[in-house]
C-alpha cells in the first residue's frame, strides 16, 4: 500500500523541491506538477509530488497518519480525533464512480 505524505516546500529547484514533513526533510521530484512555490504543501508518494494541497488538507492527512501510527503502536485510539473530517457525514463516492456519471 502506498500512503500519501504531506510535505511543505522549503526550496524550489528545476525539477525537484526540498520539502519538510513528518519524516524530516527530503528532496521531492516535482516533474508531475505544474508550478511549485515555497510554502506550498505537496501530497507526496514515493519521493514524488503528485498534488498541490492546502494546509487544511495537509493537516487532515497528517492527523489520519497519526491515527494509523497510534493503531500500529497498539495504543487505544479515539478514531474521531484522528479522522474528524469523517465524523457525522455520509460516505460519498468519488465523482467518477457515481451512477449519474456512468
Is 49 among the domain residues?
yes
Is 100 among the domain residues?
no
Q: Which of 29, 31, 25 is nearest to 17 (CA)?
A: 29
Is 26 among the domain residues?
yes
CATH code for the domain in which residue 34 is found: 2.30.30.140
In the block, cell 509530488 appears at 49
Domain containing 17: what range?
5-84
**H/E segment holding residue 5:** strand 5-12
pLDDT tens track of the chain, all 102 residues? 568 999 999 999 999 999 999 999 999 999 999 999 999 999 999 999 999 999 999 999 999 999 989 888 988 888 888 888 888 888 788 888 887 755
Is 36 among the domain residues?
yes
For the chain, the residue count is 102
In sign, the C-alpha dihedral spanning 23, 1, 77, 56 is: positive
Distance CA 78, CA 102 (A): 37
pLDDT attached to residue 1: 52
Is 96 among the domain residues?
no
pLDDT attached to residue 102: 53
Is 94 among the domain residues?
no
Whole-prediction pTM value?
A: 0.80
Amino acid at each position: 500500500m502506498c500512503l500519501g505524505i504531506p510535505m511543505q516546500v522549503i526550496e524550489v529547484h528545476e525539477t525537484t523541491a526540498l520539502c519538510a514533513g513528518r519524516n524530516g526533510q527530503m528532496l521531492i521530484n516535482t516533474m508531475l506538477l505544474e508550478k511549485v512555490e515555497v510554502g506550498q504543501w505537496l501530497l507526496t508518494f514515493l519521493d514524488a509530488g503528485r498534488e498541490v494541497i492546502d494546509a487544511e488538507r495537509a493537516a487532515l492527512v497528517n492527523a489520519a497518519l497519526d491515527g494509523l501510527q497510534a493503531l500500529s503502536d497498539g495504543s487505544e485510539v479515539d478514531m474521531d480525533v484522528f479522522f474528524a473530517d469523517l465524523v457525522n457525514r455520509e460516505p460519498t463516492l468519488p465523482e467518477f464512480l457515481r451512477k449519474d456519471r456512468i
